[in-house]
Structure 1
Amino acid sequence: MVKFDMGAAWDDTLQLLKSHTALVGTIAGVFLFLPALAFAWFGPVPIEPPAGADFNQVMATFRESFRQMIPGQVVIALCTLIGTAAILRLWLSRAGISVGEALTFGLMLFPTMIAVQILCGIAIGFGFILLIVPGIYLIGRLTLVTPAIADRRIYNPFEAIRTSWELTRDNGWAVFFFLFLVGIVIVIAALIIGGIVSVIFGSEPGIGRMLGGFVEAAFGAIGSLVSIAVSAAAYRQLALRTSSDVFQ
């Protein structure tokens, strides 16, 4: 059984981010960045609770803001699924592939990707209900579902989940901590840059909201791209079984 090496996975993550730069950048710009930017600029503005509001009023305001944002967030999530599948196909393909072929592939696998997200979300959600730790463990075990779909053209969502489960055997915690460490760095960087932009330009309608939305969308796209590369690097390492499986 292959043991997961975080250092090697990070080196491979950087290698992936440097490969197919123009093609990956095009897909990420269209499917990861632009939908988030459009929502940040033209979507609903979060509702602020009235001054002196009690707990019930605050919660009512929060629920209404959340309700208004659901449609836009669903569109962003669906676009991200297509972009993710296409980018993974570019990175994991052992032969040359064009943007058009990658996007066609992403669209073909779109129903499977949705089904997998729902199934994994339900499983991880139940895991968190069971004292959190099982949910954290499941994140590590199910991380390779999407890369497996993209690499092996798996249309059956249950088969994709089984494949990830097999590949991460004895490595679930290591994969989770790798994802966690990378995620922490991205979140801290986003908070720092977002805070600086907010302090300088404010968050009121106009230039403040436009710049804040741009930074938010940019960091969201970068964070998503890094997360995709991390999962692809973990997959490439744990899926390596024979010399015929070497990724070039």
Structure 2
Amino acid sequence: MTKFDMGAAWDDAVQLLRSHSGLTGTIAAVFLFLPALAVAWFGPVPIEPPSGATVDQIMATFRENIRQMVPGSLVVALFTIAGTLAILRLWLSRTGTSVGEALSFALTLFPTLLVAHLLAGIMLALGFILLIVPGLYLVGRLALIAPAVADRRIRNPMAAIGESWRLTQGNAWSIFFFLFLVALVFGIASVILGSLVGIVGGTGAGIGRILSGLVEAGFGAVASFVSIAVSAAAYRQLAVRRSELFE
């Protein structure tokens, strides 16, 4: 059984981040940063519950905020899927792919990855309903869907899920903890940075919203960019160790 090496995967992720940095950075800016910034600046302002609000009022405010967030979050998610495919194609292709070719590829395979993510989301939701642990396990098993689609031009969403499932066999928990550690670092940094921005610019409209939106979108784009590199590195390690050729 192939053993996943977190240290080697992180080293490879760093190398990927340095590879095609100008091209992948531009794609990340357009597809990961700008949509999030637009939503942060021009999207609905979160509603605050009234002073002394009851539990019902707090829950009603929470539901309304969720309802307002859904359209913008969907737009950001769709752009993220397209950007992820283009970036992965640049990193995983062995044929000197240009930005135009990577974007064309992303548009072509976009429906596949979208449906695969929807199906994976349903699987994860069911897993977390079953006392959380199965959901955490599934995070590791489904982590390589996007790299598999980008590298192998998989057009069948179920085949993409199956490929991730096959490559992660015996390494689900190692991959989960790898992703968890990366997410934990960014989560802690996000809380600290958000607090500092709140102190400097405040939390109200005007300069506070502009500054917080800029920092939130920028930090989110960087976190997504690193996460894409991490998944690509894990994929490259497991695919190569199984003596498989990239396309």
Determine if the TM-score, normalized by the shorter chain, exceeds 0.5: yes
Give the aligned residue type for 1:109: L
> 1:245, CA displacement in angstroms?
3.2
Give the aligned residue type for 1:211: L
Match of 1:2 in 2: 2
Aligned positions of 1:66-215 closer than 5 A: 66-215=66-215
> 1:67, CA displacement in angstroms?
0.5
> 1:243, CA displacement in angstroms?
6.3
Give the aligned residue type for 2:165: W
- Equivalent pairs counted in the alignment come to 247
TM-score (norm 1): 0.97
Give the aligned residue type for 1:57: Q
Moved more, 238-247 or 207-216: 238-247
Give the aligned residue type for 1:46: P
Long gaps (5+) in structure 1: none
1:97-121 deviation digits (Å, cap 9, x = unpaired): 1111111111001111110011000
> 1:241, CA displacement in angstroms?
3.9
4+ residue segments displaced more than 6 Å = none
Match of 2:18 in 1: 18
Asked if residue 231 in structure 1 is aligned to residue 231 in structure 2, the reply is yes
> 1:27, CA displacement in angstroms?
0.4
Match of 1:220 in 2: 220
Moved more, 231-240 or 202-211: 202-211
Cα distance in 1, alignment partners of residues 12 and 24 from structure 2:
16
Q: Could you say what the CA RMSD is over the residues aligned between the two structures, in angstroms? A: 1.2
Cα distance in 2, alignment partners of residues 65 and 210 from structure 1:
19
**3-state SS of paired residue (1:47):** coil
Cα distance in 1, alignment partners of residues 80 and 104 from structure 2:
15
Long gaps (5+) in structure 2: none
Moved more, 233-242 or 164-173: 233-242
Cα distance in 1, alignment partners of residues 179 and 53 from structure 2:
39
Identity across matched positions, percent: 65
Give the aligned residue type for 1:25: G
TM-score (norm 2): 0.98
